[in-house]
Structures are given as C-alpha cells and as structure tokens.
Amino acid sequence: MKPLEGLRILDLTRIVSGPTCCFYLAAMGAEVIRVEGPEGDITWRVPPFVGPDGAHPGPRGPKDIALSPLRRGRGKRNVVIDLKSDEGRAVFEQLVAKSDALVENFRPGVMKQLGLDYEVLEAINPRLVYCSITGYGHDGPYRDRPSMDLVVQAVSGIMSKTGFPDGPPTKVGVTVGDQVPGIFAALGLVSALRQRDVEGRGQLVDVAMLDALIALMWDEPIDHYEDVGLPERAGNGDPRGSPIGTYPTSDGWIALVTVGEAVWQRMGELIGRPDLLERADDAVRRAELSREIDAAVADWTRTRTSDEVVAALTEIGMAAGHVRPAGHARSDPQVQHRGALERLRHPESDEPSKYWGPALPIRMSRADLRPAPAETLGQSTDAILRDVLDLGDEEIDRLRKLGAVGTR
C-alpha cells in the first residue's frame, strides 16, 4: 500500500501552491478529489494542450489537458461542481461529510463568501482537517493584500540577499514563494490528520506564503548580522568563506564550495598557488582575501573544460558541479538513474507525451509512489457522485441540467 491510502482529500486549489501540495498527497496514496469550476482554473486555458493524439497549441478541446494540470493533476480524480450554485454547494457539502481533509488557497474571505468556510464545514464534519494556503495568513495587517511569488519573495527579504552587489535585488529563479508553502501545507495537513486520529477532531491548518519564506530566510543568522553589519549581496559567493561561487571554464561554468581547511590546502596545491595557502591559512583570512582567491581560481578554471575541472575538484574531495541549462536534467545520468523526472501521460493515450514532470522526490522501500496520469476536466464527476455519494443516474442528470455539476 501507499502511506496515505484510505484518506480522502478535497482539492479546491488553483495555480501553483495548492495544486503542488495536493500532488504530493496524491502521490503518497491519498484519494485526492480535485473540485473544479465549470471552466477549470486559469491554468486550464494556458497552452500547450495535450490530448489523446498528442500535443497542440490550441484551442483546447474537451479531452485536452493543459500542461500545468497535466503535471500537477497526476494521481487526482477530477470533478466539476459549480460552488456558486445552491445545488452545487449542497453536493460539495455531501463530499465534505465523507472526506478527511480539504485544501484551498483562495484569498482570505473567499470561502466565507461561498458559505464554505471552516466554521461551516467543521459543523458538517468535525473530523475534517481544513488546510488553507494564503499569501499572508488569515489575520494581521497584511491579511487582505494580494500576493504572488515575486511580491512575497520581496517582502520576506529573500530578494535582498539574492543578486550581485552592483545589481538590483533579484528573485530566486523558481517559484519558491509558491512551492515552499505547498510543501509546508502537506506537512501540516498530515500532522493534523495524525492528531485527529488520536483526539478525534479535525482543525484548521493555516499556512502563509510569507511565513514559509521567513522560515527559509531566518535560517541565516540575520540577528547576528544586525550586530556586526548586514553583508551586501554576494552573487553566487558567500562572505563566510572562500572560494565559494561560480567560475568560468573554457566551455561553460562550474560551481564549487570549499568546506574545511584540508580541502582548501589541496585546492591551493591543485591550482599552483602555495603563496595563497601561506597567506590565507584559515577561514577568516580566506574571507578577507576572497577577491584575490576568486581571481586565482578563475585563472585556473578558464583554461580547462568544465568536465576537467569538476573531475579534478571531485578527486580532491571538493563539492563541485557543472552549471547546467534548465532543461539539462532530462539527460543527466543521475537524474535518469533516480527517476526524478517522468514523462507526462494523457489518460487516454498509450504513449507518453513529449512533456516532463517531477516525480515525487521521496523514495520508500515498501511503497510505489508513482501517481496515475492527470484526468481531463470533470472526468470523474459521475463516478464520484455515484460511488462516493450514492447518487443515481437520474439525480446526476438533474444536477447536470441545473449546471450544478459538469462533464462526465
């Protein structure tokens, strides 16, 4: 079995943070029911699209899946329910009564406007774990501010640490402001489910994007820096040590990190600079002479290929690697060996698409964590209404004619 088998989770999320959280839960074996509006969220309308016969730029047909839901919808069942209609809310409330958890990432107040906030749903199912991901949380002076990855990176202080001294504050190149909260939300939800199983009641799990990035930012000794002076942005280096950073080679770039005096001694000998070893004989002196050391390392690396540099540095026990282009992972032998990426599939096609998605980055010795392909919009609507809620065909047809539910 998979670790979360037997749990039913309602996924009311959109865009990145919530769908990412629920993908992890689905890959771990939970029955995740993704509840969509009649048209799906905005990501369903962003090309490219993948259908039973392959990928195309659009327009999207009824059996096509856009790339984002194709990736983050793996392992989930997809139903269409109009939560703005009385009949749709009634159907949804029946699902809540038979579920273990719910995840949503609307702005504070949206679920209350729908009449589906935690207080309402707790009364329907006291054992429900309700997980809410927002930009700034459900309380505090920023509560009602709109939030997106870039803005939360800025407010958290992460951007002030990212970039080179002579350039502007820079965002992290991937959406950490969305994806990190999704990870924390999954952790909070399964923890609350464990507490529910012991104590018998669910609870509200409140995860804010800002809180999640503050947790990353304050892994750094910010309070100490305030005493001794905040360091300026250091690009790819680190003011606490040297050499650390990226260095040019004859055919690209490599990254390296020096940890410990023994490795530094071996590196100084490797690059032929015993004079630096004499003058920079501890971490403090290396930091003081970092510019000179960086220049010496760069003079050595740029006369060799990246493969030669990485091989030589690995031989002396230094952490070093190629700076790869973003798409290189598909052909990286370690990534391939670990199965860290997988080809995305359409549920009605025997052949994988040309697109890739990350596998769950967790391995277990007694569980197969590979999720099923994503479903088309509303693919499981009838099956969920029939199997979970015991509704008959006539009632399902009636709800569909009213617009309360959609597609199959």
Active-site residue numbers? 178
Q: CA 266, 268, 269, 270: dihedral to nearest 10 degrees? A: 80
**DSSP structural state of residue 6:** T
**Planar angle of CA 194, 199, 201, nearest 5 degrees:** 85
Q: What is the DSSP string of 113-167?
A: HTT-SHHHHHHH-TT-EEEEEESS-SSSTTTTS---HHHHHHHHTTGGGSS-TTS
- The one-letter amino acid code at 16 reads V
CA pair distance 135, 301, nearest whole angstrom: 43
Residues found in the chain: 408
Nearest one of 269, 331, 323 to 300, comparing CA atoms: 269
Q: Strand pairing of 341-343 and 356-358?
A: antiparallel
CB-based contact 333:322 (threshold 8 Å): no
Cα 112 to chain centroid distance, Å, stands at 27
**Distance between CA atoms of 45 and 120, rounded to whole angstroms?**
32
Task: Specify the amino acid at residue 292.
Answer: E
Measured CA distances, 309 to 163, 264, 300, 315 (Å) = 25, 15, 9, 10
Rounded CA-CA distance 205/203 in Å is 6
